[in-house]
Amino acid sequence: MYLPNKYTRWYYQIIENANTRPKFDGYTEKHHIIPKSLGGSNLKENLVRLTAREHFLCHWLLTKMLKDPELIKMKRALWRMLVKGSDFQKRYLPNSRIYASLRSQYGSLRKGAATSNEAKLKISLANTGKTPWNKGVARSLEEKNKISISRLGSVPWNKGISRTSEEKHKLSIAAKNRTKIQCQHCDIIVTPSNYKRWHGDNCKVMLGV
């Protein structure tokens, strides 16, 4: 699966060193030698404890050991490692030059990714019934005032931008072809975002509002 190059050799050298060194008392992170997204298991032989720096290096090397589509998965995994994590984790942070390079690569991935209507529908259905984290959270008068002040003088990004007839036609067709869902309680057909917010488990008919 991995390409027979120097990066693969370096990758396994880091893993071998980690497995053969004396017990390490410092902070470590668990690493899947064959990533789960590539079919790796949670079995002991596929796991190794690495320092935060070693863990980062291994994920960086993985982006040089594979070809698409596996390569795209590893680039996304590396970026998630940099920007996500629990409070107890002491993630390794590369220097600004490397960080900027990885951020640019991830941005290119996002621009080139096309999500099909089927994928969008699956995402929508997966989120159906989930309550937004801020639902029911009342803001204090002080918080409302701060939000109001921060928005004073701000101009919408699309204000003053006129669309051509061709652009308007494309938007119209996209809106007509947009995936829609029928609420099982009130039978109204709406877009996935409106379904999640106002229908399903939140439908007024079901709630008797």
Identify the band that residue 111 occupies on the pLDDT scale cut at 50, 70 and 90.
low
Q: How many CB atoms lie within 10 A of CB 208?
A: 6
Q: What is the pLDDT of residues 127-181, one digit of tens each?
A: 777 777 666 777 788 888 888 887 787 777 677 778 888 888 888 888 777 778 8
Confidence (pLDDT) at 57: 96
- The whole-angstrom separation of Cα 161 and Cα 157 is 9
Residues facing 29 on adjacent strands: 50
SS3 breakdown of the chain: % helix, strand, coil, rounded to 5? 55, 5, 40
Q: Give the pLDDT of residue 157.
A: 66
Per the listing, tokens 């699309």 go with 158
Are 152 and 145 spatial neighbours (Cβ–Cβ below 8 Å)? no
Asked if 183 and 200 touch (Cβ cutoff 8 Å), the reply is yes
End-to-end CA distance of the chain: 57
Confidence at residue 66, expressed as pLDDT on a 0 to 100 scale:
94
Q: Quickly list DSSP for 159-194.
A: TTPPPPHHHHHHHHHHHHTS--EE-TTT--EE-HHH
